[in-house]
A and B are shown apart, each in its own frame.
Chain A
Amino acid sequence: MTAPQAIERIDAYPTRRIAGFPVRAGRPLPFGATPVPGGVNFSVYSNNATGMTLVLYRAGEPEPMAELPFPDAFVIGGVYAMTVYDLDAEGIEYGYRAQGPFDPERGHRFDPTVVVADPYARLMSDARTGPRRSRVALDDFDWEDDRPLRLPHEDLVIYELHARGFTRDPSSGVAAPGTYAGLVEKIPYLRELGVNCVELLPVFEFDENDNPRSHPVTGEPLANYWGYNTVGYFAPKASYASTGRYGMQADEFKNLVKQLHRAGIEVILDVVFNHTAEGNEYGPTISFKGLDNATYYMLTPDGHYYNFSGTGNTLNCNNPVVRGFVLDCLRYWASEFHIDGFRFDLAAILGRGPDGALLANPPLLETLAYDPVLRDCKLIAEAWDAAGLYQVGSFPNYCRWSEWNGRYRDTVRRFVKGDTGVTGDLATRMVGSPDMYAQRGTSATVNFVLCHDGFTLNDLVSYNGKHNEVNGEDNRDGDNNNQSWNCGVEGPTDDPEVLALRARQMRNVFMILLASQGVPMILAGDEVGRTQQGNNNAYCHDGPLTWFDWRLVERNADLLRFVRRAIAFRQAHPVLRRGPASEVSWHGVRAWTADWSEHCRLIAGMFGTGADDCVYVAANSHWEGHLLELPEPPQGTAWHLFADTAAPPPFDAREPGEEPVLPDQSHVEVGPRAVVVLVAHSQAEQRDNGKEE
């Protein structure tokens, strides 16, 4: 008996011809260009357009090969949908002309002379090699058995890096510098460092050339290097792919995710839904502005752009259509690219309503928190915006969202530079900021001291002030409140004492960060002392100033080894990663007696109460050393010395598990501006260590 022949679908056949192409009415969902049997389904939304035309190009050619107006019969609601047959999906590019009123006072900016990009374009052509166009993506990548890793959030050590800058420098030695493929070659470095999550600066398509400024000395045009100016939310950045010229950027990026997952490393994307690259009324028309300006952007009653982002426009995130767009986008990246989480740039904006007012229960944030596809994705908010809304500790979280903890950053910086009056606050930050996140546990706080936006760690200990002259804004740009200290000399020096102090200060920052409860985030390159020559706002430099200099791996091997060991130590001790804060006791020069007074620059915490896992951390920002009386280690254990940032390398930190026993079990010396970390090991282990020695 043979199986019955499947009935052939009639909807795989065209019903009419437009501009020479066989077509039929398309399916409204999904939006975007989707390959279907025999053709490509194009679907685009505009609530206010009066007509729409699909514009097709042969890849790379300046003039269209055809323009296909959507007949009325192909419109459902506000959605224009058409299936076009006999198309070589790989060989075409496309865009739309949207007809409608140009009436800015009512929010409409239709301009049919402009071919706009599809907001749902899954690929975009590389703007460096021709005009920017939407392209059709094939989505049958061979993932094998890959899936998101679902590491417990509180166990992450996040490494924030720029997908291009990490390997763009010739010193990287990779075959394809500055690309996803180049980053694959550096996975062994990340593994050895011990991080288990990379957070990539924006990789959605953006235009790196959209900076109008030029270098004040050389006159060369400045770049948009960081990429916080999205053009295509569904399209992986073409110029970060060595194979972008073949339209293979999605495959190359997927391979990066797959290889990182194989190495046990999660991938978080830095996403920018607060604004777009279209600017204000003077900015370019790229897609949203020409398709449906009044829907996508927050507008004043007279049609001007609200600017909570500081970049000209603000995406109207709590409009139901735009909410759907954001959700579609994140679901796409989670399912199609196996992304493990997202960090939302200026996320406070996502809690604003269409008129800019703060919403009590922002539907977008709630939707993302409860979405079934995103259930296992980490959601991290940069909980402030450029209009002064600061929600660190108060971001609507639905027990799902975590936050970049700006207070952690400021407190650790102030403590390390020697400010008084911050020990109490440091203690609170080191136990996961329970004043802000007690209900949610330590995964709610992403602790960081440095990130792409601001000084590098090396510069934090080398400069009192920012030095942004090469940005072409007379050093007016960038944050003035850096809480930095140059250790006595502004900028580069060969004074060995200053250099030694800076090296120690860098270790202090790393040790405090990696011994704090909450999720630590490290800025790529800080582990080898990367410098931006005092520039704290290097968004516009795509060059050696911002690229990872791989020669530093050897030059600053001491610091790198220290950081590796500190990360490994953190991973070996769950008390540093999880709460509750009540299992931490506080000490000072005398055990069980912390000094919370204004003048005090010393704090010691004992994490854990039992013999299974107990760590003592003493941080001293005083310029003099102190002899500290130690609390008794848990019964049956003895104190062992893991780290002393005042000790010369390689004795500044040990391999976890190989810490020598502390000779005097009742006291420990903490040097000037130093951090000491002890760990309680059982007496048996102590004897074993003794034998080996």
Chain B
Amino acid sequence: MAFKAKMQIEDGTATIRLEGELDGRSAPELNDLVVKAAEQHVDRLVLLLEELTYMSSAGIRCLVFAHQKMPEDAEIILVGTRPDVAETIRLTGFDRSIVMRETLEA
């Protein structure tokens, strides 16, 4: 599935919905959105990942990039991460700088 990323910024929250495969080729697109969100001084970055079928190491690095780009006290929330992706994030320790949730409301 082709990669798609759409961002909405509202009330200090940037919400990015991702579809398809996030890998070395598509990661720069997400990084660009993260930079834009950081420029808007949002205090929350929400990534909706239900439709993301695959995340490579470059994809996971986007999370690190976001963590470094956003203000120190900003929250990064991953919603609906597929189990194998979530496991990789956890095993490599990246889960310590982000929050993972099943649903946005949880």
Q: Which residues of A come within 8 Å of B, CB atoms? A: 88-91, 138, 140-142, 176, 179, 181, 184, 241-243, 246-248, 251-252, 254-255, 258-259
Contacts and interface: CB of A to CB of B under 8 A. Distances in A.
The listed residue with most B CB atoms (<10 A of its CB), out of A140, A181, A243, is A243
Given A140-B64, A142-B64, A142-B94, A251 B57 contact: yes
A252 B91 CA distance: 6
A243 to B, nearest CB: 5
B57 A138 contact: yes
Given A90-B58, A247-B57, 16 more contacts: A88-B23, A88-B25, A90-B56, A91-B24, A138-B58, A138-B61, A140-B65, A142-B67, A179-B91, A241-B91, A248-B57, A248-B88, A248-B92, A252-B93, A255-B91, A259-B93
Interface of B: 23-25, 56-58, 60-61, 64-65, 67-68, 87-88, 90-94, 97
Contact of A89 (B24, B60, B68): B24
A246 B94 CA distance: 15
B2 to A, nearest CB: 15
A356 to B, nearest CB: 43
15 contacts: A88-B25, A89-B24, A89-B58, A90-B57, A91-B23, A91-B24, A138-B57, A138-B58, A140-B61, A140-B64, A142-B64, A142-B67, A241-B91, A242-B91, A248-B92
B92 A255 contact: yes
The listed residue with most A CB atoms (<10 A of its CB), out of B56, B61, B93, B94, is B93
Contacts of B90: 181
B24 A243 contact: no
A685 B40 CA distance: 62
Contacts of B97: 142
A242 B88 CA distance: 8
Contact of A181 (B25, B61, B64, B91): B91
B23 A252 contact: no
B13 to A, nearest CB: 23
A242 B56 CA distance: 15
Contacts of A90: 23-24, 56-58
A142 B95 CA distance: 12
Of all A-B residue pairs in the complex, the 5 with the closest CB atoms, nearest first, are A255-B93, A181-B91, A251-B92, A142-B64, A90-B24
Contacts of B57: 90, 138, 246-248, 251
B51 to A, nearest CB: 20
Contacts of B25: 88
The listed residue with most B CB atoms (<10 A of its CB), out of A138, A181, A184, A246, is A246
A541 B26 CA distance: 44
Contacts of B56: 90-91, 246-247
A243 B91 contact: yes
A141 B91 contact: no
A429 to B, nearest CB: 41
Contacts of B58: 89-90, 138
Contacts of A181: 90-92
Given A88-B24, A142-B97, A252 B92 contact: yes
A660 B60 CA distance: 55
Contact of B88 (A88, A246, A259): A246
B12 to A, nearest CB: 24
B93 A258 contact: yes
